[in-house]
Amino acid sequence: MEKHFSSPTVAAWLQEWTDRLDPERVELVTGEPAQQEGLVDLLISRGSIVRLDPVLRPNSFLALSDSRDVARLESRTFICSEQESDAGPTNNWRSPSEMKAAMLPLYEGAMRGRTLYVVPFAMGPEGSRFQMLGIELTDSAYVALSMTRMARVSKAVAEAIDQSGDFVPAIHSVGVPLAGREDVPWPCNPESTYVAHFPETREIWSFGSGYGGNALLGKKCLALRIGSVVGKREGWLAEHMLILKLISPTGKIYYVAGAFPSACGKTNLAMLVPTVPGWRAETVGDDIAWIRRGEDGRLYAVNPEAGFFGVAPGTSVRSNAMAMQTISRDTIFTNCALTREGDVWWEGATETPPDGLIDWKGLPWDGQGPAAHPNARFTVPASKCPMIAPEWQDPAGVPLSALLLGGRRSDLIPLVTEARSWEHGVFLGSIMASETTAAAEGPTGKVRRDPFAMLPFCGYNIGDYFRHWLEFGAESKEGLPRIYLVNWFRRNADRKYIWPGYGDNVRVLSWIIDRLEGRAAGRDTPLGVVPAPGEIDLAGTSLSAEEFAPLVEIDLADLAVEVEDVKGYYANLGERLPARLRDELEELHKRV
Ligand code: GTP
Ligand code: SPV
Ligand code: MN
């Protein structure tokens, strides 16, 4: 084997895994254009991807997955801390020794007949103290190619790892050794899928799935699950948050970060095109934020990723023109429908579907069921986004003025509510709930608690996580952003969304800025401060003041039911739940 690393630690680790996985060949991936083209040609020759029409969608591709491998698998995701209590009540737990004993035999010879791609990657901008290095070993050319877009993959990163010997080992196999067998376009092994994290030794072991967060290990596995554990230890936060730069009509700059659960609007808000004249927006990040407290007391956020892995369905010129421009070329699409002209289509792209679609299962679409899978996605470098903020890779991060916490709630939760204090904001984050989406396996539309949108991504005990948030603001309130609960998804009696959303969400942000600048009085409710009548600018929307009013109403009977539900949820979280949050719940109980 060619020697790719001179660091004894790295070389020994790579040798051990190469021996175990037993690939036919080993390739170091450093992301040069020629290498990417090689991966593309290989994937095309295998039928794993098709090239889209070069005029309609230059340098872009469509991959169709196995129909059993379409989303994150939460039931197969494990936090393997030594103590079960450190994984806590919200994570699947196995002891490290038990999980490794179960997985090592799976990895034995798992890459026979395949190429082992060695992908050194960095999460976080170069020169930032936020940066974390990793090496993903994968037998999927699709994953290797996707990693070159989603993370920073380069010779320089490989050298940095070689010099420091410090990296998060991330093992990935689709779990289908070839050994004489014919390959399939999307190999996977659903019966034996595991996505395992070893927080104490900072290792990631994934087997059996080639899709998204199960396989692109820098994202949810490293930047969130392992990241959150490191952040707890080192005093920072790894969050499932978009980062948006907002420029007011007077030219003042505000950065806001927002935690919304999977498929609940982060990418869309990150690429906001304001509908109110004078406002401008730029994108810093669309899924993950690493946040530290600066010496001035402010919170500074960095987007650790290099690309977007965004939900395709629902994206259109009308809902998100910026996302459409971002993915107009140089994009890998997965599980979208293919048009007769060789372009991609998904539900919501246009009002009526074009004739002659090939659906995500690769069959002529019969109009039954969705043509694109509801979790169909695009993978594109962040640099392709026309509204990317010039400072998006600033090693110091950007200072946050407000934090948004949002979910999909048909009722109860107002369009926007300001928390009374940092602690009250942490309380609101801890009780957040949202309807489940197609981003993970299982039924959609079921309301579940998803604290800080981190339920599937917090790598340790959620009670300790809430304590970490509380402690983050404990020392001084000076410079802390204010916290807002938002909900774009309230429905009327006809089950239609009341709020127009998308670009009109700037109206909510503008109210938040008014609050920060002391320009809006708001109206107090048991849950926090909501906009007073007239404080949200509706000019240019089709909503009347009467139609808007229910969006900021709180039904006290419904809230009482919610409080009872939260009591049951808190009881299940066990004794590590901070007393301060129980007090906040008691306060809320008294107010309703
Ligand atoms: P992940 O990548 O899974 O973390 O998702 P995300 O939070 O980035 O969600 P995304 O912005 O991709 O939106 C998911 C779905 O919600 C898409 O179908 C959007 O069209 C829809 N959506 C986003 N913003 C809004 C909004 O303001 N109003 C409504 N009604 N729908 C929205
Ligand atoms: C999410 O589910 O929140 C995603 C997609 O961003 S995945 O990368 O698959 O986790
Ligand atoms: Mn996400």
Q: What is the pLDDT of residue 502?
A: 96
pLDDT category, 581, cuts 50, 70, 90? very high
Average pLDDT of the chain to the nearest whole number: 97
460 part of a folded domain: yes
578 part of a folded domain: no
305 in contact with ligand 1, CB cutoff 6 A: no
Per-residue pLDDT averaged across 514-536, rounded?
Answer: 98
Strands annotated E in 354-494: 377-381, 398-406, 416-418, 433-435, 447-449, 482-486
The answer to whether 304 and 227 are in contact (CB under 8 A) is yes
313 in contact with ligand 1, CB cutoff 6 A: yes
488 in contact with ligand 1, CB cutoff 6 A: yes
Strand 168-173 with 132-138, pairing? parallel
Looking at the structure, tell me whether residues 378 and 450 fall in a common domain.
Answer: no
Count the alpha carbons within 13 Å of 52 in the hemisphere toward its beta carbon: 25
Looking at the structure, tell me whether residues 216 and 87 fall in a common domain.
Answer: yes
Give me the residue label for tokens 């926007």: 416
Looking at the structure, tell me whether residues 88 and 230 fall in a common domain.
Answer: yes
Q: For ligand 2, what atom is nearest to the CA of residue 262?
A: 3
Q: How far is CA 189 from CA 66, 75, 76, 176, 387, in A?
A: 10, 15, 12, 7, 39
Q: What is the pLDDT of residue 180?
A: 83
- Tell me the pLDDT tens digit for each residue of 207-224: 999 999 999 999 999 999
266 in contact with ligand 1, CB cutoff 6 A: yes
pTM for the model stands at 0.98
Residue 1 has pLDDT above 80, yes or no: no
Residue 2 has pLDDT above 70, yes or no: no
592 part of a folded domain: no
Counting the structural domains of the chain, the total is: 3
Looking at the structure, tell me whether residues 281 and 422 fall in a common domain.
Answer: yes
Looking at the structure, tell me whether residues 144 and 264 fall in a common domain.
Answer: no
491 part of a folded domain: yes
From 338, 358, 384, give the residue that closes a domain. Answer: 384
Range of the domain at 20: 8-30+75-234
Could you tell me the distance, in angstroms and rounded to a whole number, from the CA of residue 146 to the centre of ligand 2? 14
Could you tell me the distance, in angstroms and rounded to a whole number, from the CA of residue 5 to the centre of ligand 1? 41
Select from 120, 192, 237 the least CA-distant residue to 473.
237
Q: What share of the chain in percent tops pLDDT 70?
A: 100
374 in contact with ligand 1, CB cutoff 6 A: no
Select from 415, 409, 412, 414 the least CA-distant residue to 446.
409
467 part of a folded domain: yes
Looking at the structure, tell me whether residues 106 and 125 fall in a common domain.
Answer: yes
267 part of a folded domain: yes
Q: What is the pLDDT of residue 372?
A: 98
Looking at the structure, tell me whether residues 163 and 98 fall in a common domain.
Answer: yes
Closest C-alpha to ligand 2, atom 7:
213
Could you tell me the distance, in angstroms and rounded to a whole number, from the CA of residue 533 to the centre of ligand 1? 27
From 351, 384, 417, give the residue that closes a domain. Answer: 384
Which ligand places an atom closest to the C-alpha of 506? 1
pLDDT category, 3, cuts 50, 70, 90? confident
* Spatial separation of the C-alpha atoms in residues 199 and 120, rounded to whole Å: 20
Looking at the structure, tell me whether residues 198 and 331 fall in a common domain.
Answer: no
84 part of a folded domain: yes
Which ligand places an atom closest to the C-alpha of 72? 2
Interhelix angle 422-430/579-591, rounded to 10 degrees, is: 90
* Spatial separation of the C-alpha atoms in residues 72 and 37, rounded to whole Å: 28
The answer to whether 358 and 337 are in contact (CB under 8 A) is yes
* Spatial separation of the C-alpha atoms in residues 434 and 456, rounded to whole Å: 13
Looking at the structure, tell me whether residues 316 and 167 fall in a common domain.
Answer: no
Looking at the structure, tell me whether residues 105 and 21 fall in a common domain.
Answer: yes
- Which CATH number fits the domain that encloses residue 360? 2.170.8.10
- Which CATH number fits the domain that encloses residue 133? 3.40.449.10
The length of the chain is 592
- Which CATH number fits the domain that encloses residue 510? 3.90.228.20
From 384, 400, 426, give the residue that closes a domain. Answer: 384
Residue type, 383: S
Q: For ligand 1, what atom is nearest to the CA of residue 310?
A: 2
Q: What is the pLDDT of residue 129?
A: 87
59 part of a folded domain: no
Q: For ligand 1, what atom is nearest to the CA of residue 265?
A: 11
Helix (H) or strand (E) holding 115: strand 115-123
Active site residues: 264
Closest C-alpha to ligand 2, atom 8:
213
Per-residue pLDDT averaged across 400-412, rounded?
Answer: 97
Looking at the structure, tell me whether residues 432 and 294 fall in a common domain.
Answer: yes
Could you tell me the distance, in angstroms and rounded to a whole number, from the CA of residue 269 to the centre of ligand 1? 8
- Tell me the pLDDT tens digit for each residue of 414-454: 999 999 999 999 999 999 999 999 999 999 999 999 999 99
- Tell me the pLDDT tens digit for each residue of 222-281: 999 999 999 999 999 999 999 999 999 999 999 999 999 999 999 999 999 999 999 999
Residue 403 has pLDDT above 70, yes or no: yes
Per-residue pLDDT averaged across 134-156, rounded?
Answer: 98
Looking at the structure, tell me whether residues 534 and 435 fall in a common domain.
Answer: yes
By the CB criterion, residues less than 5 angstroms from ion ligand 3 are 262, 287
